[in-house]
Structure 1
Amino acid sequence: MLTIHAADEVRHVWDDPEPVRGGAVAVQGGRVAGVGPLAELERRFPGARVRRWPGVLGPAHLHEGPLPDAPSPRERIHAVLKLGAAAVLAEHAGSPELRAAADRNDVVVLARARPTAITETGRADLAVFDESGACIATVCAGRLVHRRR
């Protein structure tokens, strides 16, 4: 199903000098199908489900440090998702249990840090943050994996 994630502002990269006000990201499967103003994407993708988020939508983060402490590997990975990250560094996810939990949640395990960005046809890893900087939602490979209640 095609889903459009709309927000007050969309940034291709977090230090984007020209964010899209009233922007959106269309997601088909695990990939970005389009980025731009919400009205434009609604015309391009009629019938798509629209999720509206307050705040700023941008690329999901790479969690570069040790994973947060939690009772289980699943909960440690979920703690990263709650921070708006969809990738972790291999040096901090070395155990088979952590890698399996990351894999089950579509969290990418990277050998080294790399920049994050929203690009058409790229993997749909997105995060939405409110005005205080708290993560409202995280999307990993097109799947909503965290939503603040």
Structure 2
Amino acid sequence: MRTIHAAALLRRTLDEAPTTDAAVLVDGDRIAAIGPRDELVDAYPEVRVRRWAGTLGPALVHDGPLPAAPTPRERVHGLFRTGATAVLAAQVTDPDLRAAAIRNGVVMLDTVRPPTVVEGGRADLAVFADDGTCLATVVAGRLVHRRA
């Protein structure tokens, strides 16, 4: 399923200045296009558009222990609430936690790498409010967290 994620601000990397009125077209688990919101919406009129109030950008890489919670599934969801979709493999040694992370599409890395939003890349996105609160997290094209 294709979805356009649109926001007032889009950041392709965590370090770059955001661009205004941009959007990302997600097709399955990949980023199919990045561009001005109106151009993407006009080019793909049949595609669902999710409009976000915050800054859309790459999902984060979590480099510490996963958030504490009663079950492995809840720990993984706690990770998504922070806007992260990748972790260091060394932090996920418990077999039940590792299985929950894999089931939910979490990327396990040997070392931290800077997250990016790039055409053809995996659709791991996050939306953040001005105060840094994660409003939404997309893992491999699936919306897995949305703040109520």
TM-score range, shorter chain: over 0.9
Is 1:39 paired with 2:38?
A: yes
SS in structure 2 of the partner of residue 8 of structure 1? strand
Paired with 1:112 and 1:44, the residues of 2 have a C-alpha distance of 38
Q: Deviations over 1:6-47 (max 9, x none)?
A: 011001001113x22011110000000111110111133231
Name segments (4+ residues, structure 1) moved above 4 Å. Answer: none
Aligned to 2:15: 15
Paired with 2:59 and 2:27, the residues of 1 have a C-alpha distance of 17
Aligned to 2:53: 54
Aligned to 2:62: 63
Aligned to 1:4: 4
Aligned to 1:131: 130
* Comparing 138-147 and 64-73, the one that deviates more: 64-73
CA RMSD, Structure 1 to Structure 2 (Å): 0.8
Q: How does 1:72-87 map to 2 (within 5 A)?
A: 72-87=71-86
Paired with 2:32 and 2:3, the residues of 1 have a C-alpha distance of 9
Give unpaired runs (5+ residues) of structure 1.
Answer: none
Could you state the TM-score of these two structures normalised by the residue count of structure 2?
A: 0.97
Identity %: 56
Aligned residue-pair number: 148
| 1:42 counterpart letter in structure 2 | V
Aligned to 2:26: 27
Shift of residue 80 of structure 1?
0.5
Could you state the TM-score of these two structures normalised by the residue count of structure 1?
A: 0.96
Paired with 1:16 and 1:41, the residues of 2 have a C-alpha distance of 22
Paired with 2:108 and 2:76, the residues of 1 have a C-alpha distance of 11
